[in-house]
Amino acid sequence: MTDRIGVVSVALPPILESEDWWHTGEAIFKTVQKVREDTGLTFATDGTGIDSTVTSTWGLIEGTFMATYIEENAGNHRRHAVLVTSEGANALQYAMVMILTGKFDVILVTSYIKESKAELHIAENFAYEPIFHQGLGLDYLQADAMQARQYMHKYGITPEQCAKVVVKNRRNGLRNPVVRFGHMFTVEDVLGSPMVADPIHAHEIRPRCDGGCTMIIAREDRAKQLTDKPVWLTGISNCYDVYALGERDLSEVQALEKAAKKAYSMAGITNPRKELDLVELSEHCAYQELMWTEGLGLCQRGEGGKLIDSGATQRNGELPVNPSGGVLSGNPVCAAGLIRVAECVLQLRGQAGEKQIDGARKAVAHASAGPAGQLQTVIALEKGF
């Protein structure tokens, strides 16, 4: 991109597990206060403060009137604001487009959800084609299981290779203070857990949880004024796969390949395996990390299993994948993609603590949503100091 946009502040609250006392509005307020304190910004409308807010959540879970408590806690009373009912990473993309129009300089982006307040499988069913598929009672896990089976059969991916993703990510999660599901699993532990939807075991599914993320982005001159450690958003793209599940080749990830190609082109990345220092991707189930690494061009099609076997994606490997612990260590749906971006920002600013990857300068964050990864988003980031 010719006009650079930078992330100037991020706030990652602790991820919670079905806490009745936790209120979405209160959590949003606390993180908004955190990024405002970091930058000294107010909600002034004279061009010196935050020009607009883009919020993201899932209306089927948070309720039809979610804006009544989300917007006010994000400081949006009688101000310009946008509510995106989508993945948090797409709220970030919307905010970037707003800045690129030249009408906005500084935007606050926040994504929150409280999964524990709803029956998630019912909400997921509404994502399917209403005439023939919703009546079957399908949710995302059933689609993921069909995808996992096709992918593993086509490319000879083994259950042990999928289990290694869980072992790696949940151990990485032990270094991350904001997640609650880090664990020292073994491959045997993973494969010994109950089979939930063949071939997916219980430990291979992301935990359901409550949480979110807030950040402030700004055009280049304002970003340099607001922080001495800007992280530039150098490329971003998303792509939807075919709507009807039966019309897709579930063993391939063409939507992700297209999104990655566009984002890499914008960022000037020609060899992601060699040029990137880390990747944060959204693996809602273990097998998906293997598929998504292929779609991101980190290995050839069908070689995601070989990549995990090689050790290259470990914290101390050639290209660490999910050093934060990833979605498997506890990230809520809808906010997971924005959390991936925030984790990359902390890495590139050298503020990742125990999970820090030394010398990180370039990273990619990835988000997926919908049944079997129907929506794919790729964001390239680069250290700016």
* Domain-embedded: residue 96: yes
**In what side-by-side order are the strands of the sheet with 231-240?**
81-84, 52-56, 106-114, 210-219, 5-11, 231-240, 375-383, 362-369, 278-280
Tokens of 266: 């914008």
pLDDT of residue 20: 59
Query: What was the pLDDT predicted at 18?
Result: 59
Residue 16: what pLDDT?
72
In a domain, 87, yes or no: yes
Domain limits for position 68: 5-119+208-226
Contacts of 132 (CB under 8 A, 6+ apart): none
Does 294 reside within a domain?
no
Q: Is residue 45 part of a domain?
A: yes
Rounded Cα distance, 96 and 85, in Å: 17
Domain annotation covers residue 92: yes
Q: Count of CB atoms within 10 A of residue 17's CB?
A: 15
Residue 33 maps to which CATH number? 3.40.47.10
Choose among 82, 343, 312: nearest CA to 211: 343
pLDDT at 122: 87
In this prediction, residue 64 carries a pLDDT of 53
Predicted pLDDT at 101: 95
Residue 113 placed within a domain: yes
pLDDT at residue 1 in the model: 55
Number of domains in the chain: 1
Q: For the segment 102-154, what is each residue's pLDDT rounded down to a tens digit?
A: 999 999 999 988 888 778 888 899 889 888 889 999 999 999 999 999 999 99
- Answer whether residue 306 is part of any domain: no
Which residues in the chain come in under a pLDDT of 50?
none
- Helix boundaries (H) for 102-253: 120-125, 140-155, 159-173, 187-192, 220-226
Query: Which of 25, 26, 28 lies closest to 212, judged by CA?
Result: 28
Domain presence at residue 57: yes
Quick one: tokens of 41?
A: 């910004």
Contact assessment for residue 381 and residue 364, using Cβ atoms and an 8 Å cutoff: yes
Contact 363, 347 (CB under 8 A): yes
